[in-house]
Amino acid sequence: MSQNFSHPLNSLSATEISEAVSILKKSNKNHENSSFSYISLEEPDKKLLKENTNLERFVKIVGVDQKSNGFEAEINLSKKELIKEEKISNKAGPTYTLAEIFKAIELTMGDENYQKALKKRGIKDLSLIQIDPWPGGGFVNKNIKNGNRALKAISFLKDSEKDNAYARPIQGLIAHIDLTENKVVEIEDHGVVKVPEAHARYDKDGQEFLRENPKEIAITQPEGVGFSVEDNLISWEGWQLRASIDPIEGLALHQVSLNNRPIFYRAGLSDMVVPYGSSDPMHWWKAVHDGTEYGFGTMTNSLTLGCDCLGEIHYLDAHKLAFDGSVETIENAICIHEEDFGVQWKHNDSTQMGYNEVRRSRRLVVSSFATIGNYDYGIFWYLYLDGTIQLEIKLTGVVGISAYHEDIHKSGQDFKISPELASPIHQHLFNVRIDWDLDDGDNQLFETNVEPLPINNVNPEGTQFQAISSHLTKESEAQRNIAPEKSRTWKIVNPNKLNKVGSPTSYKILYGNTPTLLSNPDSPPGKRAAFAKHNIWATPFQNEERSGGGRHTVMHSGEGGLEEITAKDRNISECDLVTWLTFGVTHIPRPEDWPVMPVEYCGIHLIPVGFFDQNPTINLPPSCSSISKSNK
């Protein structure tokens, strides 16, 4: 008999995670020595959830056993039983565990050839060495046996315990670790380059002086916040949604609706890739999948009041499965607050009517941050009063660096960010999966391009242009890229729901300036991150199709990714539609990015088009602030 959980999409509790691990270990004693990657809630099908919210609770535990084989186990928490356990193919394994990261560092530190390479550089004190493990897939070392899990490791030298190690890279030295066989298989040494001397601490105590603090901007809501939160259900100005931390995707949204009209069922980061474009031996092989190789959710930060979020804040905690089977709580994992966002609409009438009307905009912000190695990523969802939804990724942290050498680094590929350091050109490409449910029905995908009309009798001066919309009916037709010169956009349409002017209700997908993958399509990054070849893909919903690069990407060659998913060229003309949206930045490093880069932004907007019959904020009451001050 199913237990009466408050809602099937509530985040997993610490008790549930502990129970799941206990059930797994009782069912298979060998897991006493396993290393766990993550636990995730097996979310119910949306059609089933619409019919019944009193459903049994299922979870999936993913990890690596003592023989370095990946596994996933499905558990019924309601009945407290293991449903099934399956081995994950060694060709495409689960995320690295913290135990594997520690193992790689320990094996590298203890390796005789590694220590000899350090001595050759005059480095004797291992306590000041920082080792950063990187995924071993893609360009796999020749000494790693097929099917084995592996990591690469690069090194940095601190000057003191509190030093920023990234300021002093040990150039040319790469360790290759076979995690399955528990050994270092090669120390790759490209020759001695002087370790940089300059420091680059970024903490306040490491600065020569601190500038005068800007005057405080106080954000107060004396009447209280305009949103309410119950478990992970958020309500604000007609909006309703649920928010959670998925171990792979990080911050995910569920059942997003406005005025009781569904928009999408689920949205989350399906994958991302960071390919490097340099020939530098320390970087050319890098193309990490930060989500599926390490896990955005498992790397989520605890946010700090007044720093990461400012104003009247409501936090949601998250619980995660640690590598040793224990439960860790990420306090303040999700931040929820409101922000004023300037003018919503305005018109100053120039006739004798005398109207001068202006309304203020505001937005609800749901956000989190994750740190993957040297980079920090903020996932920010914004909901606006006019029905717009925005996803913004904030990129910050420390850029990848090398000790500069004129014989190694090339103009246009490697950029000096300090007299001693160079940083390579690279990309950050994100893929967001949106499972649509626009107006509670099957949906269609249209592409709109704006084109000039030919000069003729009805367009004699050549000033006219028109928007042309095309219905995309197959998966192959929906593999498309942005075209700013054509003002290209895409629309999600419900053909069975019409607005007041007789048009079907829809939402527009609007990109900013965004690249696609620059690596050759036949290269390992091109095959493993094929999702980044196009800005948009579309598929009919299948529950197992969750990740643009494949659910398990450690050591993989692209298995399970969007090219494989769409190979049958299925019909999407009117279906339970899923879109996969790729966006990001090509990062050309600059001195201002050092020692910590200012936030860079990328993302998408989802904008109502005929979803409403008129401006949905036309009835906003005037709200000019009575506490604002001026010089008059």
- What are the catalytic residues? 290, 375
Tokens 């609770």 sit at which residue? Answer: 57
Distance from C-alpha of 130 to C-alpha of 164, rounded to nearest angstrom: 10
Q: Collapsing DSSP states into helix, strand and coil, what is residue 159?
A: coil
CA atoms within 13 A on the CB side of 529: 34
Q: Is the peptide bond before 275 cis (omega within 30 degrees of 0)?
A: no
Task: Give the chain's radius of gyration (CA, Å).
Answer: 26
User: From the CB of residue 94, how many other CB atoms can be counted at a distance below 10 Å?
Assistant: 24
Distance from C-alpha of 279 to C-alpha of 612, rounded to nearest angstrom: 52
Residue 565 contacts residue 545 (beta carbons within 8 Å) = yes
CB within 8 Å of 441: residues ≥ 6 apart: 494, 496, 497
Residue type, 565: I
Residue 421 contacts residue 594 (beta carbons within 8 Å) = yes
Alpha-helical regions (H) of 182-274 = none
Of the candidates 498, 475, 456, the one whose C-alpha atom is nearest the C-alpha of residue 564 is 475
Query: Which tokens sit at 512?
Result: 């900013």
CA atoms within 13 A on the CB side of 260: 0
CB within 8 Å of 328: residues ≥ 6 apart: 319, 320, 321, 322
Q: How far is CA 385 from CA 164, 324, 359, 618, in A?
A: 43, 45, 11, 10
